[in-house]
Structure formats: C-alpha cells, structure tokens
Amino acid sequence: MLKAFARFGPAFMPVVLCSILTVAQCSLPSDPAPATVDSVFDDYVTQNGPGWTGADGTYSLPLPDGTNLFMWSDSYIGTVDPGTRLRKNALFTAHNSLTILDQTTGAWATLGYPPRTTSYFVPQNKADWFWLGDGWITQPSPGTYKIHIMLLEWTGVFQLVGHSIATLSWPGLRLDSITPVSGLDTSLEWGTKILQVGSVYYIYGLKDPHTNQKTPYIARTNSPNNLGDATKWQFWNATSRKWLTGESNATAMNGVQAITPEYSVDSLMYHNGIFYLMTGMDPLHPPYPLWNSVTTWYACSPQGPWSQKATVYITPEAGAAGCHTGTLVAYNAKAHTEFTDSDGILISYNVNTNQSADLVCANDYMPRFVRMQIPGVDATPR
C-alpha cells in the first residue's frame, strides 16, 4: 500500500548467444497515440466485496482456461459501502492477494476467500511480508500446469530481505511451495517482469536508491528451472555490452534515465519483425510525489539500448485531493498485452494517497486502466 513512497525516502549454447546478441537493428514504430481511459477495466476493479476491494501491484497472467490471474501487493479484502465507497476502516488486511477475472461473465473471484482475508503468501519470518512480482506458467507434462510468482520479502522498515518463488498447481491453485532464490544479494530488486523469448527467460529488475533516480536492470537464463538459482543467470553489463555471470557485474540498461519501481517489457511485432516495448512511469518529470507521466520506450533487443521515450498519458489523480486530508499519488504503470483489442494495448497504473486516513475511501486506493495504440503494431499475444 505504501510501496511507492516508503521505498522512495550455466552458460548458454553458443548458437543461442549468437542468435540473440546479433540482433542489433529492427524497425521501430512511431510513438504511441495518447492513451485513453478504459472504463471496462476500471469497472472490473471497482469492487465492493465481499472479497477483494483494492490493492496495488497489478500483475496479470493468462491462465490455461482463458481466465486471468491478477497478482496484487498490499490489499483490502472485506467490504465497501456501495453508496459511499467507504471502507469500515483505513487499515489494509493483506500484503498480497490473488484474484481471477473471467471476462466472459465479468466475474471477479478472490482466491482463498472466504475465509481468508489475510496475505496469500507469508514468509517464515512473520514480521516480514511478501510483495509480488511477475508470474509465469510452466507445463511439466502434457495437460499439467504450474503457476509461478516472484515474491520479494521486506521488513517493517522497508528493507529488502530476499527473493522467493511461489509455485501453485493448476487448476486448483493450491500452494505447492515457496522457495528462496539463491545466488542474489539485496542490492537489486528482481522480478518486475519475467519475459520469455523463445527458450530464453529475461528477468527485469531495478536499483532503488530511495530517490527518484531508480534504474532498470536485466538478467537472463535459458530454462525456467534456473529462475530460482541466480548462479545460472547472466546479467547485462551495458558498459561492456556483454552478458556476464554474477549479479555484481550487472549495470543499468542504457536509454532509460529513471523509472518507477514496477514496469513492464513486452515483445511485439512491427513490419514482420520483433521490437520491445517498455512501459512505466518517469519519476523525474515531475519528481515524487507528483509522478504522473505514463511513459514508453522502444528497443530492438530485450536489453536495449532503449530509445524513443514518449509520454502517453498524464494521470489526473497525481496531486489531486484525497477524500479527507491528503493528496493522491500515481505510480507503477505497466502494460498487459494479453488484453490487447481494437482499442489498443491495456495499461494499468496504481493510485494511492500520502495520508493513510484517506484509505478509508476505496476510490483513493485502486488501480486505473487506460489503452494506447501504436500505429502498425501487432500486439496480439503469440
């Protein structure tokens, strides 16, 4: 809930390496058209309960049956007065939650509720909590699926403790395990996006110095089985323009001066070729607490260099009055290309308040959705 501002203050086969590292040129489309509000998705998340009634994070994952899993960080699970949109109190109930959207029926289900109103994933140290990163699906055998979610463990003073991976069975979504990711220190946050390109898995992350100068990082591995063992990752070093072993060799990707803590990267088609879209928020223009610029960048490879920075939407909530005493903040925009339709690519961003008393108002703490079109781009999921 307070993520935005609390955080403010092994080798690859040679043929695989060659095929990836030689991708230096591609055709990049023109800038996206200005984004517009998606009222359908705004309505989906305007929930009065009983169950989920608001959260941040807003990760999504298409499930094998055509429904979609949404993965949330700090969450409210309970009820909201449908007339006033007021909660019974301002205290959130969970540090993470899961919901399932069935677009065919418009049904919105809170996983584990009833009776669960607390965090879906809990660390062994009960004084800590998990905030969620991206999710991905594996298929161990025909007809058998596993859902995996990156978890970032935090202390009460907002210190990163480490990373873990939650594994759930499909279709029951029973929690099988929570396994720590080995081989990482706590200098970088990983899992803001897990992007599969062919047989390669790219893991996007962030360096957060607790200022507006937050920068994006990337690692990769050649098997989903290696995502829990960072000694089998390679980290992009933009200075040498090489993939190197060891997290200490990672540098920020080139072309993005700064980005809010959560962002997305997607591979899209343009002129029969692949390019990469990064979607986030520019935390420098303007600086916190007035982050309001939903921003995109393009690249010809997953690691950049990134270019063609464009502001596609100015969030009207940033700096607006909260329902009681504070002002609202916006943060952590990301694309959800699995929901692309004729109106364009779906983008979410989170809205919060700088005064916890305002959180009694459900409208002051919920995601918002917009859509943008990129001329000539086929964003249909592949």
CATH number of domain containing 184: 2.115.10.20
Give dist(CA 336, CA 134) in Å, integer: 11
pLDDT recorded at residue 381? 53
pLDDT digits (tens, 9 = 90+) for 105-115: 999 999 999 99
pLDDT of residue 21: 42
Of residues 306 and 5, more confidence is placed in 306
- How big is the CA angle at 149 (ends 91 and 282), to the nearest 5 degrees? 70
Q: Which two tokens stand for residue 241?
A: 């323009």
**pLDDT value for 44:** 98
Q: What is the pLDDT of residue 378?
A: 75
What are the pLDDT digits (tens) for 354-382? Answer: 999 999 999 999 999 999 999 999 776 55
User: What does residue 362 show for φ and ψ, rounded to 5 degrees?
Assistant: -60, -35
Q: What whole-number percentage of the chain has pLDDT above 70? A: 93
Question: What is the domain count for the chain?
Answer: 1
- For the segment 318-336, the average pLDDT, to the nearest whole number, is 96
Mean pLDDT confidence for 228-240: 98
- Average pLDDT score, the chain: 93
% pLDDT > 90, the chain: 91
Q: Report CA-CA distances (Å) from 168 to 72, 110, 270.
A: 16, 15, 35
Residue 11 pLDDT more than 80?
Answer: no
Question: Which domain covers residue 259, as residue numbers?
Answer: 3-378
Listed in sequence order, the residues at least 6 apart from 272 whose beta carbon sits closer than 8 Å to its beta carbon are none
Stated as kind and residue range, the H or E segment containing 41 is: helix 39-44
Does residue 265 have a pLDDT over 60?
yes
Q: What burial class does residue 105 get, using C-beta atoms within 10 Å of its C-beta: 0-12 exposed, 13-18 middle, 19+ buried?
A: exposed
Q: Which amino acid is at 110?
A: T
Q: If 0-12 CB within 10 Å is exposed, 13-18 middle and 19+ buried, where does residue 26 land? A: middle
Question: Can you say how many angstroms the Cα of residue 165 is from the centroid of all Cα atoms in its chain?
Answer: 15
- Whether 100 has a pLDDT exceeding 50, the answer reads yes
For residue range 298-325, what is the model confidence (pLDDT) as tens digits?
A: 999 999 999 999 999 999 999 999 999 8
CB 354 within 8 A of CB 381: no
